[in-house]
Each structure stands twice: as C-alpha cells, then as structure tokens.
Amino acid sequence: MSHPVFMWAAARPCRSDRMRTDAPSVLVEGVAKAAPKPAPRRRSPALRRAFPYLLLAPALAYLLVITLYPGLFAIYQSLFVVKFLNWTWAGFDNYTTILQDREFWAALANTALIGAISLALQTGIALAIAYFAYRDPLIRGWRIVYLMPMLFMPSAVAFIWKLAFNDGRVISDLLGRLGLIEGNVDWLGSIWLSRMTLIVADVWQWTPFLFIIFVAALQGQDQEIEEAARLDGASWPKIFWNISLPMMRPVIVVAVTLRGIDITTMFTNVFVMTQGTPGGATETMSYFIYRQGFRMFNFGYASAASVLMLILTVIIAQTVVKRAFHSGKT
C-alpha cells in the first residue's frame, strides 16, 4: 500500500519541474545561436514548443500513475462506505466516526510517542558520533560502511530484530549471561518493553543515515571558523555548541523532518515484530490503517485515516521547516 505521505513528498519536485519548463527551450535556442557557421538545425515550431514537455513526460507519467492517482483515489474513496465492489456514498461520515474512534487516537498517540523517542534518540546519537568522528580521516574513506544498516531490506531487518528479541531470545540470553536478568524477558508482555523493541530497531537502522548527513555537514563547514574559535580560547565542546551546531541547524532540521515523516509511516517493524501487541500499545497509524483496510476491509475508513494522517504530516512538517528557516535568518 502506498501511504499518501509519499505522494506528498514525491509530488513536490513535480511542481518545481513545471515551473522551469521554459529552461530547456532557452538552452536549445542558445546552442543554435552560439553555433558558428553551419546552418542552424531547423525544427518545426510546434515541436520546439513541445520539446521540454516531451522531455518531462516520462517522469510526469510515472508520478501521475504511481503517486497522484492512488492519492486522489484514496481521497475519493474516503467519502464512501466500501464493502468490496459495493460503494455507498457516506459524505464525511468516515471522518466523523474516526474522530470518535478510540483506536485511532491511540494509534496516533503511539506513533507520536514511539516516533518522538526514536527520533530524539537517533538524532542525539548521530550528532554525538558525528561530533567525535568527523575529524577522523578514516570516517571520510569508509562512510559507506556506516550506511549498511540502511541498505538492508526493511523486512529483513525487522525479522532480525524479531529473532533477536522474541523468537530467538538472543537479547535475553545476552543479558542473562551478563548477569543482568534471570530467565527470559517477555518483550511483548509489557507496553513499554514492546515499544522499546520497535524503538531499538528503528534507531539501529536509521542512526547511520543521520550520522552520514551530520558528518558531511560538519566536514563542509569552513575550517578557519573552527580555528578562529580555537584561538579565541574555546574548547572543542564549546566550539561545537556555540558555532558548529548552530551552523548545522538547517541541515539538522531538514534531516530530522525527512526522518520524522518517514517514522510516522512506521509499518514494517510493527507488522513483523509486534503486530500492535500488547493490547494495541504498539499499533502505529500505518498499522491501524492497514488493519482497517486489509483485515477488516473498511476501505473507505482506512482511506479517510490516511487522508487525515497526510494532512497532519504536511502541517507539522511545514511548520517545523518554516520556523527553523525563518529564525535561522536575520
């Protein structure tokens, strides 16, 4: 299933492409004029005007079919009560029901809670490692290694963690051998332990992504500024806190926002590892939508939940980015 959020993210470049559609024709003309003597190649004016659109056509077609169509379809569907091929017009009934659905609010709260903790942890850890590591020449050469967790298939990662926590009891065993616990921990038996397994899996997989971005940002900073601060008497932590970190701010905001949008759609790990147990404590929005749609076959209801989620995500992301960049200036 394609979550509407992806539609939003992917649709943006489409718009900016459109705004620049006159650029290729300028280029074509410029080349024709600049070419010295050989007779300029003639194209029919119609073709010349259509040329930029033709160049964009494949990308546009892709976007329309893969993201825009399902997105619009979801909005449309959310206005019906759908029982397979039997669609009944419902207006905004789905929405009003959802807003009174305790499970919806629980899922929203779970997503916010698990997402916020996970995001805070991975941002903090990534920043800390980046701070200690970015001057190291080894890091430059071996950056790609740190991307490995990201390169694994998400479902494979989820299964690894499922094995480690639940089925294989690897973690319990390790903790037991360290003498920290006795016997087995029932990770799915407690609300917070269960949530923690999701957080651990997400942090493990995505901290490297933030780390790479933060290291690149730090390495891109003007070294003389750091040196000036050093001569002014600042210690390394003070330089980081007073200078490097504020300079990284736009990068941090963008990276965390992207990651945040991604986390709100957390599904694979939930599906594989916890299935929302215990008692819905780990049911995220995506899993809620999935359950409504594909377990209970309330397609209209699930679509409505997706649309609400999309609106919420866009509002939050816009506010965060706008704020961060606005106060970054002046």
Partner 1 sequence: MASIHLQNLEKRYGAFVGVQNMSLEIADEEFLVLLGPSGCGKTTTMRMIAGLEVPTDGKIVIGGEEVNEVDARDRDVAMVFQGYALYPNMSIYENIRFPLRMRKIPASEHDARIRQAADMVELGAFLDRKPGALSGGQRQRAALARAVVRQPQVFLMDEPLSNLDAKLRQSMRVQIKHMQRQLKVTTVYVTHDQIEAMTLADRIVIMNKGAIQQVGTPDQIYSDPANTFVAGFIGSPPMNLIEGTAQNGRFTAPGVSAPCLDHVRGKVTLGVRPEDCQVGGDNVQGMVYGVEPTGDTTYLTVRAGEKMIEVKAARDYRSDIDQPVGITFDPAHLYFFGEDGQRIRGAA
Binding to partner 1 in span 238-257, by CB under 8 A: 238, 242-243, 246-247, 249
What are the helix (H) ranges across the chain? 4-19, 23-34, 45-63, 69-77, 93-99, 102-133, 137-141, 148-151, 154-162, 170-177, 191-220, 223-231, 236-239, 245-264, 268-269, 285-290, 299-328
User: Tokens standing for 95?
Assistant: 């929405």
C-alpha span between 170 and 165 (Å, rounded):
6
Question: Does 222 participate in binding partner 1 (rule CB under 8 A)?
Answer: yes
Task: Determine which residue in the list 230, 296, 311, 325 makes contact with partner 1, applying CB under 8 A.
Answer: 230
Task: Determine which residue in the list 224, 237, 295, 327 makes contact with partner 1, applying CB under 8 A.
Answer: 224
Asked whether the beta carbons of 239 and 200 are under 8 A apart, the reply is no
Please state the closest distance from residue 130 (CB atom) to partner 1, in A: 18
Judged by beta carbon, residue 24 or residue 250, the one nearer partner 1 is 250
User: Tokens standing for 104?
Assistant: 């919806």
Task: Determine which residue in the list 59, 228, 311, 315 makes contact with partner 1, applying CB under 8 A.
Answer: 228
Question: Would you give the binding string for partner 1 spanning residues 182-221, x where CB under 8 A is met?
Answer: ----------------------------------------
Give 39's DSSP letter. Answer: P
Task: Determine which residue in the list 160, 210, 229, 252 makes contact with partner 1, applying CB under 8 A.
Answer: 229
Q: Which residues of 150-164 are buried (b: 16+ CB within 10 A; e: fewer)?
A: eeeeeeebbbbbbeb
C-alpha span between 120 and 265 (Å, rounded):
17
Please state the closest distance from residue 234 (CB atom) to partner 1, in A: 5
Judged by beta carbon, residue 193 or residue 234, the one nearer partner 1 is 234
List interacting residues with partner 1 (CB under 8 A): 222, 224-225, 227-235, 238, 242-243, 246-247, 249, 330
